[in-house]
Amino acid sequence: MNERKTRVIAIANQKGGVGKTTTVVNLAAALSLMKKTVLVIDLDPQANATSGLGLQRQPGYSLYPILTGAADIADVIQPTPFENINIIPSELDLAGAEIEIARRGNHLSVVREALDRVLASGVFDYVLMDCPPSLGILMTSSLAAADAIIVTMQCEYYAMEGLSVITNIIKQLHDSGVNPGLKLEGILMTMYDGRTRLAMDVVNEVRNHFGEIVYETLIPRSVRVSEAPSFGQPVVFYDPSNRGALAYKAFAKEFAKRFSTFPVSVPAKTEAPAVPDDSVRVPDAELSAPPSAEVSAVETSTNP
Ligand SMILES: Nc1ncnc2c1ncn2[C@@H]1O[C@H](COP(=O)(O)OP(=O)(O)O)[C@@H](O)[C@H]1O
Ligand SMILES: [Mg+2]
């Protein structure tokens, strides 16, 4: 077994608007200030991480041509205006990629195989995947290639709703042998408003439920954080002394500390999973499950 340098972390939550993209972009920025090299992979056809890091959508520059075998991963890694941050952007066609990968039938190993070459190069300290809200083939394939998942949760009621979708997919990736090491490594609470009782209550509930995997750092709600993307910048660069920026820098320190001891041993040669790709399925019902009224911030059916 070899120790590999790069940690591959997916920022996920099948809810939209919970701070996934904001976290990916600002975590990348804060890590870059710590002289860490980061590759962001934008998996969301909305391409918010791409634009948030100052890039335009460009046809042909995304995971899409990799998934279809039309390009090599090295060809689609783009520099950003920010030192130490590179990106595989997104494009609208990523939605079409779902169909294409399904047709090719190697959908669980395709991202991992492509990424293996990036990991072998040892260029990056971290690969951060910005996941779309829906759990489709693209995201499953990406989770098959990840070492860890961090879930972002907005400090509001129903924060934990739907987390079972992620815990289920982790279990399936374990049970099928596709990615037995994948771990729900952490939970980051975002858009925290310290003036409200509700935000504190939600944080306490999540901490009671999930214990120490919840990051100490709380990301406060701040207008500057939401303004920064329209300038194509993470708030960490746009307004470095803003409290949201400071929080993301504190989070990056916590993150780097945790991952410095995170075990990532890989076999010298990665072998394709000995199981058929369709052994990991996202039930259609879960992809489109409407929010359930009974599930509250203290949803107890969700076991970490
Ligand atoms: N800490 C914050 N303070 C204020 N607005 C925020 C904060 N974090 C995210 N937002 C805003 O909330 C919206 C959703 O955030 P985003 O990161 O895009 O979520 P997701 O990627 O989970 O859909 C965006 O408009 C974003 O600018
Ligand atoms: Mg997003």
Closest CA to 111 of 141, 136, 140: 141
Half-sphere exposure (Cβ direction) of 268: Cα atoms closer than 13 Å: 0
pLDDT at residue 263 in the model: 78
Token pair for 299: 């949803």
**Nearest-ligand number for the alpha carbon of 25:** 1
- 295 inside domain: no
Residue 8: strand pairing partners:
127
- 34 inside domain: yes
pLDDT digits (tens, 9 = 90+) for 240-290: 999 999 999 999 999 999 999 887 765 544 444 444 445 455 444 333 333
Total domains in the fold of the chain = 1
- 30 inside domain: yes
Q: 50 CA to middle of ligand 2, Å?
A: 10
Are 166 and 14 a contacting pair, CB within 8 Å? yes
- 128 inside domain: yes
Q: For the chain, give percent helix, strand, coil, nearest 5.
A: 40, 15, 40
pLDDT digits (tens, 9 = 90+) for 122-155: 999 999 999 998 878 888 888 999 999 999 999 9
The ligand 1 atom at the shortest distance from the C-alpha of residue 223 is 4
Categorize the per-residue pLDDT at 2 as very low, low, confident or very high, splitting at 50, 70 and 90.
low
Q: In Å, what is the CA distance from 22 to each residue of 113, 231, 235, 244, 275?
A: 28, 13, 9, 10, 36
Q: Show the ligand 1 pocket: residues with CB < 6 angstroms.
A: 16-22, 48, 190-191, 219, 221-222, 225-226, 229, 244
- pTM of the predicted protein model: 0.88
pLDDT at residue 293 in the model: 31
Token pair for 262: 């995170």
Categorize the per-residue pLDDT at 297 as very low, low, confident or very high, splitting at 50, 70 and 90.
very low
Q: 75 CA to middle of ligand 2, Å?
A: 24
- 174 inside domain: yes
Q: 17 CA to middle of ligand 2, Å?
A: 7
Q: Return the best residue to mutate from 226, 235, 251 for the ligand 1 pocket (most ligand atoms within 8 A of CB).
A: 226
Across the range 164-182, mean pLDDT stands at 93
d(CA 16, CA 4) in angstroms, rounded, equals 32
Closest CA to 36 of 10, 77, 73, 5: 5
CATH number at residue 43: 3.40.50.300
Task: Write the residue with the smallest CA distance to atom 17 of ligand 1.
Answer: 19
pLDDT digits (tens, 9 = 90+) for 20-33: 999 999 999 999 99
Whether 300 has a pLDDT exceeding 70, the answer reads no
Q: Which domain holds residue 87?
A: 2-287
- 304 inside domain: no
The ligand 1 atom at the shortest distance from the C-alpha of residue 48 is 18
Token pair for 257: 């500390």
